[in-house]
Amino acid sequence: MKYISTRGRAPSLSFADTVLTGLASDGGLYVPESLPKFSVEEIRGMAGLDYRELAFRIIQPFVGEDLSDEELREIIQRSYKNFRHSAVAPLVQTDTNEWILELFHGPTLAFKDFALQFLGQLFDHLLKKRGERVVVMGATSGDTGSAAIEGCRHCDNIDIFILHPHNRVSEVQRRQMTTVLSDNVFNIALEGNFDDCQNMVKASFADQSFLPDGRRLVAVNSINWARIMAQIVYYFYAAVNLGAPEKTVNFSVPTGNFGDIFAGYLARQMGLPIDQLVIATNANDILHRCISDNDHSPKPLVHSLSPSMDIMVSSNFERLLFDLYDRDGEAVAALLADRSAPMHLKEGALKKAREVFSSHRQDDLRTVEVIREMFESSEYLLDPHTAIGVEAARRQRKSSQQPMVCLSTAHPAKFPEAVARALPTQKIPLPTHMQGLFEREERMRVLPNDLAKVHEFIATALA
């Protein structure tokens, strides 16, 4: 399997080289040259499979010859062994044909663990084989950071630097990152927002001269193809457990960097019967405006009760654009030449997007109400991101006959501030492995929003 850039000018790469690269050299993102497709019969054969076996079937065709089947199975086994639920991704019914897919049973309580536990194991395997030590650099609005640190901290061949927006993540999220005191883990609290962190990471990939000789950057954000690939699995898992391929299943996805919902789009392209994918956004609504009004113009980022989705420049939208523009890299490059400028999709592209995507924007006030209403009606406690997805599903669903799956992207214990606004007396204890989080020592460096200062910090830490 070969991987090509969404901007059409970078060399194509093997799976392993794609995983150990960040952005393509032309600034684009890597995607598979062609997607594996599963027949109705093959999808029928997925019913009842254990999550890990299903993961093997979905991921194997993307890997090509870079891993033997045995190596891949082992990586998958290790990736999901620390999940606290035997189903790995359990489904909970909350209404007629409405389901929550709980993606927060991994070590850091967010859906990011699905891909980042896998990526950590994959890095470890590939780097040991090559005898190479790399520098991982990532940006986080709160969840990717801790999941990446958890996935990479035991890797001998990695130093990891995570940038988060200073004072813009929840206290639990910050502590999950900053209380990991391993020698190869470095947390930077940037005086800026998530987009500043992400821009800095992308700029660093473009010019890596600040690194010591022989070291290179590797990405843990969803610009890394393997992140998206691992997330395709749970769409298949949920759908076959709800009757696919005989039944069509729909999904509502709280969206920021467009990685998670893009994995759902790919599952559909690979043969899964999905009719509707609902993009659920908070007040940072560029994706909602794009789908509903063809208005993809950046606005200043606002701080919301769902901080992990406080994102305006949505990286993976580029991968969708590549498809919507018939895989024409030059057209994508022209469209994204200036990401601070308003963008309007050509009519055919917008029409194609609307065939599958619908969208909803939700403000904090309603998010708090949804958390309260759901708890009062079903005694089910939603985190603020999932609450946006649930409301989006209810407002946008086209068919009440087809199952609608709302992806629950984080555990409510990560966002006690938001939950307290909805349910002031409700206690949400942290799972046992996180007890004592508030008493642990923290280590992080606060840095100005200045690329040179960040590079200086990284170079000194590596020296």
Ligand X SMILES: N[C@@H](CCOP(=O)(O)O)C(=O)O
Residue numbers at the binding site for ligand X (CB under 6 A): 140-145, 221-222, 256-257, 259, 308, 315
What distance in Å separates the CA atoms of residue 316 and residue 63, rounded to the nearest whole number? 20
What distance in Å separates the CA atoms of residue 227 and residue 223, rounded to the nearest whole number? 8
| Residues sharing a CB contact under 8 Å with residue 76, sequence separation 6 or more, in sequence order | 52, 55, 56, 59, 118
What distance in Å separates the CA atoms of residue 284 and residue 141, rounded to the nearest whole number? 13
Per rule CB under 6 A, is residue 260 in the interface with ligand PLP? yes
- Closest distance of CB 346 from ligand X, Å: 26
In this structure, the number of other CB atoms found within 10 A of the CB of residue 168 comes to: 20
- Between 143 and 323, name the residue whose CB sits nearer to ligand PLP: 143
Q: Which residue has the tokens 């392993």?
A: 16
- Between 98 and 196, name the residue whose CB sits nearer to ligand X: 196
Q: Which does 315 bind (CB under 5 to 8 A by kind): ligand PLP, ligand X, none?
A: ligand X
The number of C-alpha atoms within 13 Å of 438 and in the hemisphere containing its C-beta is: 7
CA nearest neighbour of 10 among 323, 257, 332, 345: 332
Per rule CB under 6 A, is residue 332 in the interface with ligand PLP? no
Length of the chain equals 463
The CA-atom distances, in angstroms, between 245 and each of 51, 92, 237, 248 are 17, 20, 12, 7
Q: Which does 276 bind (CB under 5 to 8 A by kind): ligand X, ligand PLP, none?
A: none
Q: Which does 409 bind (CB under 5 to 8 A by kind): ligand X, ligand PLP, none?
A: ligand PLP
Binder among 168, 385, 411, 421 for ligand PLP (CB under 6 A): 385
Decide if 81 is catalytic: no
Catalytic option among 2, 37, 81, 112: 112
Task: State how far Cα 397 lies from the chain centre.
Answer: 23
- Between 142 and 329, name the residue whose CB sits nearer to ligand X: 142
- Between 241 and 308, name the residue whose CB sits nearer to ligand X: 308
Of the candidate spans 174-182, 254-262, 295-303, 443-451, the one that interacts with ligand PLP by CB under 6 A turns out to be 254-262
Orientation angle between helical segments 69-79 and 51-63, nearest 10 degrees: 130
Per rule CB under 6 A, is residue 309 in the interface with ligand PLP? yes
Q: 415 to 434, contacts with ligand PLP by CB under 6 A?
A: none
- Between 38 and 262, name the residue whose CB sits nearer to ligand X: 262
Q: 199 to 228, contacts with ligand PLP by CB under 6 A?
A: 222
Please report which helix (H) or strand (E) contains residue 62, including its range: helix 51-63
Binder among 146, 176, 193, 257 for ligand PLP (CB under 6 A): 257
Q: Which does 98 bind (CB under 5 to 8 A by kind): ligand PLP, ligand X, none?
A: none
Binder among 252, 255, 282, 358 for ligand PLP (CB under 6 A): 255
In this structure, the number of other CB atoms found within 10 A of the CB of residue 39 comes to: 10
Task: State how far Cα 356 lies from the chain centre.
Answer: 20
Catalytic residues: 112
| Residues forming the site for ligand PLP (CB under 6 A) | 110, 143, 222, 254-261, 308-309, 385, 409-410
